[in-house]
Amino acid sequence: MTLGTITKQPYEVLDRYVDFAREIPEAVTIEVDSLKAIDLADNSDSTEKMIDSDPGPSVSGTKVVFRIQNGADGEHHKITVRIIASDGQHLEGDIDLFVVER
């Protein structure tokens, strides 16, 4: 499911999150299964370029927190976060990321 859109400038390094609160009950905990970025111009893996691995993704309640970086003007990426919930659910959330020099 697409959960939102992020627009950033190439220089910016931003902490952002995907919140799964609507999808899981209050007492359920989550863990990150994967966090990936795809450059939609050619469907190539852009995870190393766009997602900072230090710090890597973390969990805060129902949120997966991650840091985005880099990119060039005009790029469009899809960030996909997959989680496993303690009640057995496997959930996926997508964010559209646009890089725009202003």
Helical spans, DSSP H, in 1-102: 47-50
Return the pLDDT at 87.
Answer: 97
Query: CATH number, domain at 87?
Result: 2.60.40.1220
pTM score = 0.93
Domain count of the chain? 1
The pLDDT value given to residue 2: 75
The arithmetic mean of pLDDT across residues 36-45, rounded, is: 98
φ, ψ for residue 49 (rounded to 5)? -75, -45
Residue 93 sits in which domain range?
2-99
